[in-house]
Amino acid sequence: MKEMGKGRHLEPGVFIPGAAPSKSAPFRRVLLISYLFPPVGGGGVQRALKMTRYLPKFGWHPLVVCVEGIPPGFPRDRCLEDEIPGEAVVERIPEPALVRRVFSRARSATSQVPTTSGDGAPARPGSRVKSAARAVLTRARDYFMSPDEQALWVPGAATSAHQLLDEYSPDAMISTSGPASNHLVALRVAKSTGLPWIADFRDPWVGNMHWGDLPERRRRKEIALEASVAESASAATAVTRAFCDDISRRYPKLPVGLIYNGFDPADYSDLPSAPNAERELTLVYAGALYPRRSPEVMLRALHQLKMAGEISPGEIRVIFAGIFDYPGRSDNRRLVRELDLEDEVYAVGSLGHRAVLELMARADGLLLVGDDTPGAGDYIPGKIYEYLALGKPVLGTQARGEARDILEATGRAYLCDPGDPEGAVAVLRSFLASPPDASGYTPDLHPYRRDHQAAQMAWLLDELVSR
């Protein structure tokens, strides 16, 4: 992969962007299209938020177009809202009422699992009627809403973007997905203005892990939509080597830069430095779970070691922070009961970003639950960078690929393939036998720093406007 530095001009193919130097003036403005933005919480807002925070350091001031309020199924995180720079221009565009009223149940992901410690409120399984209604709405959404239900947000967002153009005269534009509708907003702007445009892909659009769930009619339409974006964008960026290679293979005339996801060192400066002093060995998982990202293998491994007497009562607890069971499902909750793990497994629900970091900082180890689906090895879960920043040992399941390579290179990872019961038992047994000391943990984390990634994005923006 080419590394681009000063004096190099953008060419088609995959490359690693250089890093722009810090500068206070002169500055330019960049239009940033990101449906998800604080006070919306969750991992999907981090890239846009941190670009808004750090791009000004490198001479670019963002003008953000995002959704107004908290969309159904997303948490609120006021701590993230406090990170938005005071000088940032943020235009919040309301979502059509049709989306909220008709599709909110289909995409709602707020129900949590009851815990034995009182950390989470008991959640009642949905009735059969409600589950059937939700399934119908989901099928309707998947069939009609292309590329996603945010498609109805696109016209209003594009109108707002044009108003910002008239008022601030930005020099370039970034759209970051998902949702992919962000790129459709940018496509409208680019076609009418010719503004230099970077299409940033945090996940693949065509051919992603959930691609096979979509109706054929919608897949054909989205192939055409993505092609329109690739043909109009000045450059693309993506967050893994595999994503970059795939985009470049399908659109060989497009420059594609690798800019990883990452972590912000400022978020870790005053976290607790030592694990909890309680007698239990504590593992923490942060993030959402769903049928293809299931903790079953690791929970069964925990049950097996408990039944064999290798784990004593009160010796270990596993905390899940985030979505444990999606609405209408109780698979994980039921499994915890069946395996008699209610004294070991706790689900604390969705927490703010700061609270999650503090929880992980006090843990003895961090749990990883990888997707068990073809192509999962091409992904790097965003939580991996926060795990790396904390310097904790990591154990769990992860498909072979770039993410696993990054973790195993630290020497502090205990990983097996998803769906490997024997491997899960071996991983957990090895960790319990001698959990590694995180002291002296000094991997090269520079490529994964949010400020460095903003410097890379600024370098690419500089290249586009200087053509």
Do residues 86 and 234 both lie within one domain?
Answer: yes
Do residues 315 and 453 both lie within one domain?
Answer: no
Do residues 84 and 191 both lie within one domain?
Answer: yes
Enclosing domain of residue 293: 265-433
**pLDDT for the residue numbered 142:** 60
Do residues 230 and 276 both lie within one domain?
Answer: no
Q: How many other C-beta atoms lie within 10 A of the C-beta of residue 441?
A: 16
Do residues 104 and 42 both lie within one domain?
Answer: yes
CATH number at residue 388: 3.40.50.2000
**pLDDT for the residue numbered 211:** 74
Note whether residue 196 is domain-resident. Answer: yes
Rounded to 5 degrees, what angle do the CA atoms 54, 57, 63 make?
60
Per the CB < 8 A criterion, the answer to whether 43 and 379 are in contact is no
Per the CB < 8 A criterion, the answer to whether 408 and 400 are in contact is no
Note whether residue 124 is domain-resident. Answer: yes
**pLDDT for the residue numbered 298:** 97
Note whether residue 444 is domain-resident. Answer: no
Find, among 64, 63, 68, the residue nearest to 93 by Cα: 68
**Distance between CA atoms of residues 397 and 404, nearest Å:** 9
Residue 454 DSSP SS3: helix
Note whether residue 443 is domain-resident. Answer: no
Do residues 209 and 281 both lie within one domain?
Answer: no
The sheet carrying 316-321 orders its strands as 345-349, 316-321, 281-286, 365-369, 394-397, 413-416
Residue 282 DSSP SS3: strand
Note whether residue 12 is domain-resident. Answer: yes
Do residues 7 and 155 both lie within one domain?
Answer: yes
**pLDDT for the residue numbered 110:** 37
Do residues 46 and 172 both lie within one domain?
Answer: yes
**Distance between CA atoms of residues 463 and 467, nearest Å:** 6
pLDDT tens, per residue, the chain with 467 residues: 666 644 456 899 999 999 999 987 779 999 999 999 999 998 899 999 999 999 999 999 999 999 999 998 888 999 999 999 999 999 999 988 765 565 555 554 333 333 323 333 333 444 555 555 555 556 656 656 788 889 999 999 999 999 999 999 999 999 999 899 999 999 999 999 999 999 999 999 998 877 777 788 888 999 999 999 999 999 999 999 999 999 999 999 999 999 999 999 999 988 876 665 556 899 999 999 988 899 999 999 999 999 999 998 888 999 999 999 987 789 999 999 999 999 999 999 989 999 999 999 999 999 999 999 989 999 999 999 999 999 899 999 999 999 999 999 988 899 999 999 999 999 999 999 876 555 545 678 999 999 999 999 999 999 999 87
Note whether residue 441 is domain-resident. Answer: no
Note whether residue 229 is domain-resident. Answer: yes
Do residues 254 and 211 both lie within one domain?
Answer: yes
What's the number of domains the chain is made of?
A: 2
DSSP state letters, 213-243: GS-HHHHHHHHHHHHHHHHH-SEEEESSHHH
**pLDDT for the residue numbered 261:** 97
Note whether residue 216 is domain-resident. Answer: yes
**pLDDT for the residue numbered 242:** 96
**Phi, psi for residue 156 in degrees, rounded to 5:** -65, -40
Do residues 212 and 132 both lie within one domain?
Answer: yes
Do residues 421 and 277 both lie within one domain?
Answer: yes
Do residues 209 and 80 both lie within one domain?
Answer: yes
